[in-house]
Amino acid sequence: LNVNLAISYDQRSSWVVRKDSPLLADDINKWYTENKTSPDFEASAKRYFEINKGMPYTPILSLQDGKISQYDDIFRKYAPEINWDWRLLASLAYTESNFDTTVVSWAGARGLRQLMPATAHAMGVPEGMEHDPEESVKAAMKYIASTTRSLRSVPDETERIRFVLGAYNAGLGHIYDAMALAEKYGSDRTVWY
């Protein structure tokens, strides 16, 4: 598939149909005309064409004083629940949300710990509290604990943390798929490469 092929003048969306399918082209054009101002179409266009998937990063508050964020006390409070260094939790939040409690990702993840709403609610976050930093961290601890239990087949603790971090970002199903592929191709499924 050649994605560099120009099929029309530069615009937000284009489509190609076979020359012998004029009715299909007419139907697509009609659908577009009727739906281009609908909320669903606008949300899709924004998601795929406008929202930058990257995030601007700000500096650490004070490296000299060991202050990573204004939420350090929350990370310290909940880190013992999963037996992780609080700084690892802070670094994960920095990567996920840049410590912005109001951020919503391109995929719909919300808040400091960038949990999808369904996951946040399943982990006990009350409706409407997805952006509360403490609720977000508490839910993330439950999610990390659950994911750690799901990855107990990884015997080395350091390796398991790597897998958990990967699952936090990509989802546990993708990690299981990667482990199966590693095994299929003769690699150790319990080592993060």
151, 167 Cβ separation under 8 angstroms = yes
Residues 122, 135 contacting (CB under 8 angstroms): no
Q: Is 42 a catalytic residue?
A: no
CA dihedral for 185, 190, 192, 193, sign (positive or negative) = negative
- Candidates 34, 96, 127, 183; catalytic one: 96
Angle between helices 133-150 and 157-170 (to 10 degrees): 120
DSSP per residue, 121-143: HHTTPPTT-TT-HHHHHHHHHHH
- Which are the catalytic amino acids? 96
